[in-house]
Structure 1
Amino acid sequence: MGNLKSKDTISIGLMLLALFFGAGNMIFPPALGQAAGSNLWSAMTGFIVTAVGLPLLGVIAIALTGGNLQKMAQKVHPWFGIAFTVAVYIVIGPLFGAPRTASVAFEMGALPFISESLHSAGWPLLVYSLIFFTITYYLSLNPSKLVDRIGKILTPLLLVIIATLLVKSILNPVGGLGSVTEAYQENPFFKGFMDGYLTMDTLGALVFGIVAIRAIRERGAKDEKSLISVTVKAGLVAAIGLTLVYLTLSYLGATSQSLGMSENGGQILTSVVLELFGTPGALLLGIAVTLACLTTSVGLVTSSSLYFSGLIPGLSYKKTAAALCIAAMAVANMGLTQIIAVSVPVLTALYPLAIVLILLNLFPMLQEMREVYVFALIGTALVSIVDGLKALQLSVSWAESLYGWLPLYSEGIGWLLPAILGALFGYGLYRLKSYNALTRRESM
């Protein structure tokens, strides 16, 4: 039993798409589109690299390591393996990922139908998030059936709704491509590349990839070759779906400037749908998005709870899930715009480390070369952490003189050259150690 049927592969791909297809996937493409205006396609190319290409590579990298994130990260060092994995689960779980699902669901599923005076009171979001995470906790106690049904039913429904939006926007456009805002006037590709960080899908891939691998094994793939092959195919199904969704939503955002500039992508998409379909359309989209966000929330809470309850002896899964839901509910009440703002510095520092770790794990010949991992990650961290501090708006003027010469530093990708140089130095060090060890053995 090694080969899965095509329908099983597609089903797993849709399940993977359902897990990814949550808050960030709905709100950031419209926001990018509205801000990029006529520079939309250049910016979206960069966005797709980090929001589709890298998550696909992340799923493949996890498959190559047997579906174990900590095992993948501990190639740097055992302690780094734990620290990095904990950081990923905290970021995509209670800190940003899970709270954002509730905030987006509220912005698109409830806020359009709440009066301004009621919303300003603050308690509607509190009540909504309490109900949202109560349901998340209940479903996280037995998530397997939900995720399978979502993959087969809700994801296709959402794709149909988004396709309908695209057709309607082409036949009856809200407006033309808008003007380019300042942030996207120069190097829109790299601005889009950095915007892709905000989806958190590359970090999510390191967790959702594990869920996909378990599903593949349950369906009969036993040997490593079959596992990797099906994972790649399922990942491609999800990647194609995400790309089509992103292009559509970003186009809707780019044509929405005539409706006024909005604070976040949730407000943009709601405004466009109200313009195109009126209140019934906004209601249907709100329900679908709420269910999609709920699915992602269950996936994040389930994965995080499984990891932390396994990491800490004596900590039960149920208690962990309850604690994560409470923490996520508290953060969700910051509001969507504030959650996005706070997440930027953390993701700016953490994302490059995840990217380099994923890329290294795609090359089997490097698996035993710890020096390559160590120095590549050190080179990356020296720049990405400073970039994170800059995003936090802390004074790091010294960094300009120290790192300003690096290629793409002003675009936020200055960590790339240090990562490459670090990997090359580590490779040279590994070869030198191997040569010295061989020389000693021959002299004995």
Structure 2
Amino acid sequence: MKKTDIVLIGLMLFALFFGAGNLIFPPYLGMEAGSSFLPAITGFIITGVSLPFLAVLAIALSKDGITSIGSRVHPLFGLMFAVLIYLAIGPFFGIPRGASVAFEMGAAPFFDGESRLVLFVFTAFFFALVYVLSLNPSRLVDMIGQFLTPVLLLAIAALCVAAFFQFDHPAGDTAEKYAEAPFTAGFIEGYLTMDTIAALAFGIVVINSLRSKGITGQKEILRYTGIAGLIAAAGLAVVYGSIGWIGVHMPGAEQFNNGAAILTAASSALFGSFGKLLLGIIVALACLTTCIGLTSACAQFFEEKQPALSYKTYVGLFTVISFLIANLGLSTIISVSVPILVMLYPFAIVLIILSLLQPLIGQSRFMYAGAMILTAVYSLYDGAAAFGLNTGPLAQWIGWVPFFESGLGWVFPAAAGALAGKLIKPK
């Protein structure tokens, strides 16, 4: 396999990951973390970079992608978990959010005030493009790796380099949630990128790309997947740190209530009216490549599980659903998606870790089931709390575990459940 091929696959994977959340969350984290930026962005990079990289490797080690990983608990659980993951990162949340962010940051600044009609027209054009470019998944590597990603990286580099030379505002006060445990707060914030669960889908895209290049052996697939993953991870870590730094040192960043507004103001301050165009290019390319990748991955998955409908039909169906949800607006999409992600992420993380440790700890179904049962208790509690439900009575029973208040109460119970299941000796 040529070196240029693996580099292009790595660039494709970077572009697939780098979408809506990757742009809007690091600058706001930087502004809120202030002087605690370093530990906060480190936690963010672990969930936004390291865990997605491990997830891609876990998929490369499995025989049937995300379904086979979940089936180690039970075949029905494996199927249901895979369907939930694909719907969450696809037409229900991930794809509509990408289109909404592209509109808010790439198109809305050029119009006076918010217009439902402008949003409708923009998303109609956006999803028409997504539909056309998703019809041929075999061309994803060439289309994204060769053309779209280099333009995206150049635009981001122009913004970040200019910021490094012109922004010298000292770090502001640390917000309350980053004051006591900045690392943990950044770790939880990394959930919102959706990259760890998206990696469970993008892993298959990478593997299919390798197979199209003639790589079929399990060891070779794992090796080249790891190389492509490292290329994507390095790019993501540098970009996160850079745009997060803008949030720390941009004058007046504290007056904004989201990362999109911070980046919009930063690009205007650095480049004037051209800054809006530059940011529009960054956002449009980032969100477009991610939406194409997610649409293609979802269509491939559902065609495999239910081949009664063709790949083209699934692409059209998911494009229409995403278009309708995107027109609900970014705030609505985020408010509904956050609790769902809080519930899904712990399951995904535990399954990824157990899969990677399988050569050392084995593949006991009791071990997987024990980990999932106790993880469910805490992840469902965190999701209910994020929805605003009254969880006080339950907290009195389960709130004694470490990291509970930080939203990571599932960590030790998951380990305990896995250990207990491992010790069970089936007859």
**TM-score between the two structures when normalised by the length of structure 2:** 0.96
Q: CA deviation at 1:183?
A: 2.1
Count of residues paired in the alignment = 426
| Separation in 2, partners of 1:222, 1:143 | 18
Q: Retained in 2: the 8 A contact 1:34–1:257?
A: no
Q: Which runs of 5+ in 2 are unaligned?
A: none
CA 1:359–1:250: 2 relative to 1, 3 Å: same
| Separation in 2, partners of 1:318, 1:225 | 32
Alignment of 1:184-333 (within 5 A): 184-256=178-250, 258-333=252-327
For 2:384, which of 363, 368, 389 is the aligned residue?
A: 389
Q: Which residue of 2 is the match for residue 94 of structure 1? A: 91
Q: CA deviation at 1:325?
A: 1.3
CA 1:186–1:396: 2 relative to 1, 3 Å: same
RMSD: 1.6
Q: Which residue of 2 is the match for residue 115 of structure 1? A: 112
Q: CA deviation at 1:146?
A: 4.5
Q: CA deviation at 1:122?
A: 2.0
Q: CA deviation at 1:322?
A: 1.8
| Separation in 2, partners of 1:405, 1:257 | 42
| Separation in 2, partners of 1:225, 1:414 | 36
| Separation in 2, partners of 1:67, 1:51 | 24
Q: Which residue of 2 is the match for residue 368 of structure 1? A: 363
Per mean C-alpha deviation after superposition, the further-off stretch among 156-165 and 276-285 is 156-165
Per mean C-alpha deviation after superposition, the further-off stretch among 175-184 and 236-245 is 175-184
Q: Does residue 59 of structure 1 match 2:56?
A: yes
Q: Retained in 2: the 8 A contact 1:174–1:275?
A: no
Q: Retained in 2: the 8 A contact 1:174–1:272?
A: no
| Separation in 2, partners of 1:146, 1:231 | 16
| Separation in 2, partners of 1:265, 1:36 | 13
Q: Retained in 1: the 8 A contact 2:152–2:281?
A: no
| Separation in 2, partners of 1:56, 1:178 | 32
Q: Which residue of 2 is the match for residue 338 of structure 1? A: 332
Deviations, residues 375-395 of structure 1 (Å, cap 9, x unaligned): 111111111111100011100
Q: Retained in 1: the 8 A contact 2:44–2:186?
A: yes
Secondary structure, in 3 states, of the residue corresponding to 1:418? Answer: helix
CA 1:378–1:180: 2 relative to 1, 3 Å: same
Q: Which amino acid aligns with 1:129?
A: T
Secondary structure, in 3 states, of the residue corresponding to 1:414? Answer: coil
Q: Does residue 83 of structure 1 match 2:80?
A: yes
**TM-score between the two structures when normalised by the length of structure 1:** 0.92
CA 1:149–1:428: 2 relative to 1, 3 Å: same
Q: Which residue of 1 is the match for residue 395 of structure 2? A: 400
Q: CA deviation at 1:151?
A: 1.2
Q: Which amino acid aligns with 1:246?
A: Y
Q: Retained in 2: the 8 A contact 1:263–1:337?
A: no
Alignment of 1:348-367 (within 5 A): 348-365=342-359, 366-367=361-362
Q: Which residue of 2 is the match for residue 416 of structure 1? A: 411
Q: CA deviation at 1:215?
A: 1.2
| Separation in 2, partners of 1:16, 1:46 | 21
For 2:42, which of 45, 48, 53 is the aligned residue?
A: 45
Q: CA deviation at 1:167?
A: 2.2
Q: Which amino acid aligns with 1:148?
A: D
Q: Which amino acid aligns with 2:374?
A: G
Query: Quick one: percent identity of the two aligned structures?
Result: 47
| Separation in 2, partners of 1:149, 1:247 | 27
| Separation in 2, partners of 1:178, 1:156 | 34
Q: Retained in 2: the 8 A contact 1:38–1:180?
A: yes
* Rg comparison, structure with higher value: 1
Q: Does residue 149 of structure 1 match 2:146?
A: no
Q: Retained in 2: the 8 A contact 1:253–1:268?
A: yes
